[in-house]
Structure 1
Amino acid sequence: MARHGAELLPEVAAPLRGPVADYLAHIELERGLSRNTVDAYARDLSRYVLWLAGRGVGGFGEVTEEDLLAFRGDLSSAQLAASSQARIGVAVRRLHDHLLGEGQVDGDPAAALPPPRQADSLPSALTVEQVEALLATTDGDEPVQRRSAALLELLYGTGARISEAVGVDLDDLDLVRGTVRLYGKGSRERLVPVGSHARAALDAWIVRDRPRFAAGRAQAADRAGAVFLNQRGGRLSRQSAWTLVRRAAGLAGVDDVTPHTLRHSFATHLLEGGAGIRVVQELLGHASVVTTQIYTRVTAQTLREVYASSHPRAR
């Protein structure tokens, strides 16, 4: 990810450069976008950040609707292809939406602008059977299998982002009460229930195998309490956790699975089971219910597909 961050020129102030680098990490590691797609976002957002810096904007909290209209006008004046202007506009809108959702800014100046013509794709969710197949790949008596089981159960059972999951410390877990404290971006934290399957998997990993991993090497104080450790005794990285998820998906024969797919599945299955959208919002840690409402579109789409394939008068 350092490579993406380095593309944001060093003369740009950190309050502009840092949030963009974090966003690029988010779309690659948590949403699982391809390297080429992330590179395209990096180029487009570098252009935007340099433009903001040249306009004297010191941070994203200072950006106004007027700024965005001016930026759009400059793109048009530069005689960029309409498709390029639309692509850059999508990148900028999604960045601002992400910053608002993570609580890094108080408002979204892009929200009042006309939306781009390209429609956002719906988040993909696995079926319950696919999730069960994914989790079944971790059955076994090897320490790394128990670690993978604990990680996958936590991701699907709590809807945690991958960065939140690998950031969990032992002190954040209460397996007796069945809760975990998750720390999102913007220093926000939330207490989320942990179901019986995840509790059992976490307990097996922590009691049976984690001590041996922890003995691998003395660690700094900030890593000593990590729940998920690598084989050298350090905190498991987001990249390594992402690889574990993809490996399990390959073994299960389920395509296009990322850690964020499990988060999408968590939310979708809750709504399909009758959970209220406000409850799902709190569990996901969304600052705005608007972000959560996309999952109602997913469940509505599922209902339409089932109707179309099942009802005799729909065919």
Structure 2
Amino acid sequence: MKKLIKTKLREFLKYLEDIRGYSDLTIKSYDESITEALLSIEVLEEKNHILLNLMPYRIKISSLNSKTISKKLSAIRSFTEYLNDNEMRVILRGDDSIKVAKTLPKPISHAHIIEALSFAEPEERVVVTLLYTLGLRISELTSLELKDVSSEWVRVIGKGSKQRDVPLLAQSKKALDEYLSKSVRKKFVFEKNGEKLSENSLRYIVIKVFKRVGLKVSPHQLRHSFASQLLNGNAPIADVSELLGHSSMATTQIYTKLGSALKQQNYNMAHPLSGVKE
């Protein structure tokens, strides 16, 4: 489909020259902006139309000044209007105005997480690993039940009791199995005296693990690191949004303001721990 759109782009540029009478410099600007955007935009073929998801591209150019961003998006809108006027039904997604939070939790680098894990006790290791490889909220981790963990997936109960399934990496499963084999649990993955560990208890574990390597880290930063690593690894923002349990991709865009291009990949290809060797 992108090949067809590129063909249409050449037609559009000729239209700007022959019909609209645009200057060579303006046409070059349109060409560069649209060509650049097509490298990141997700193109989806729906039943009756083509959907262009601008969100990955908007994340990529988010660090530019507002005037430049507006100019680039205007070129895409003009091209879309041309396509719709020439027997192609195209709908833009992610073209609305998005307010980005002034402050964002800083992700922790993969190298720092691995370093901290090397000094962690079995329980500490599992807590950090699950937060990092499942992208859980601390409230979701404390409520995680044994019955919701399978060999390849974890069923997470998120906000509003909304369920989502997140892939469980083989390395995470191994660490979890080793931890669970040490004692008998009744219901929850993290228990003490038959009761689930509190959020504060799990939060303290995370703080303690990273303090050993001179870092101050919160559980939410590990969730942010999960999202950042997946997006940097070219996972589609729609997939990351679903894995995080967000109700809309706009929330994911705010949560994961990044400067990297996004392309379609699956979870295991995107997450760095999937390639770690013992």
What whole-Å deviation, never above 9, does each CA across 1:4-62 have from its counterpart, x for those lacking one? xxxxxxxxxxxxxxxxxxxxxxxxxxxxxxxxxxxxxxxxxxxxxxxxxxxxxxxxxxx
Match of 1:251 in 2: 212
Match of 1:55 in 2: none
Question: Does the 8 Å contact 1:268/1:299 carry over to 2?
Answer: no
Question: Does the 8 Å contact 1:155/1:262 carry over to 2?
Answer: yes
- Listed as ranges, the gaps of 5+ residues in structure 2 are 1-95, 261-278
The answer to which structure has the higher helix fraction is 1
Larger Rg over CA atoms:
2
- Listed as ranges, the gaps of 5+ residues in structure 1 are 1-111, 139-144, 215-223, 301-315
Picking from 156, 166, 169, the partner of 2:145 is 169
Q: Which amino acid aligns with 1:248?
A: V
Picking from 155, 173, 188, the partner of 1:226 is 188
Give the percent of matched residue pairs that are identical in Structure 1 and Structure 2: 37
Q: Matches of residues 149-168 of structure 1 in structure 2 within 5 Å?
A: 149-168=125-144
What is the CA–CA distance in structure 1 between the aligned matches of 2:244 and 2:199, rounded to whole Å?
18
Q: Matches of residues 94-173 of structure 1 in structure 2 within 5 Å?
A: 120-138=102-120, 145-173=121-149
What is the CA–CA distance in structure 2 between the aligned matches of 1:202 and 1:171, rounded to whole Å?
13
What is the CA–CA distance in structure 1 between the aligned matches of 2:188 and 2:101, rounded to whole Å?
40
Q: Matches of residues 202-213 of structure 1 in structure 2 within 5 Å?
A: 202-207=176-181, 209-211=182-184
Q: Matches of residues 1-315 of structure 1 in structure 2 within 5 Å?
A: 120-138=102-120, 145-175=121-151, 178-207=152-181, 209-211=182-184, 214=185, 224-230=186-192, 232-255=193-216, 257-300=217-260
Q: Normalization by structure 2: what TM-score?
A: 0.56
SS in 1 for 2:126: helix
What whole-Å deviation, never above 9, does each CA across 1:222-274 have from its counterpart, x for those lacking one? xx3111113x342111010000000001012223x100000000000000111
What is the CA–CA distance in structure 2 between the aligned matches of 1:234 and 1:187, rounded to whole Å?
20
SS in 2 for 1:210: coil
Q: Which amino acid aligns with 1:174?
A: S
Q: Normalization by structure 1: what TM-score?
A: 0.49
Q: Which amino acid aligns with 1:239?
A: N
What is the CA–CA distance in structure 1 between the aligned matches of 2:230 and 2:248, rounded to whole Å?
18
The answer to which structure has the higher strand fraction is 2
The Cα RMSD (Å) is 2.4
Asked which structure has the greater RCO (Cα within 8 Å, sep 6+), the reply is 2
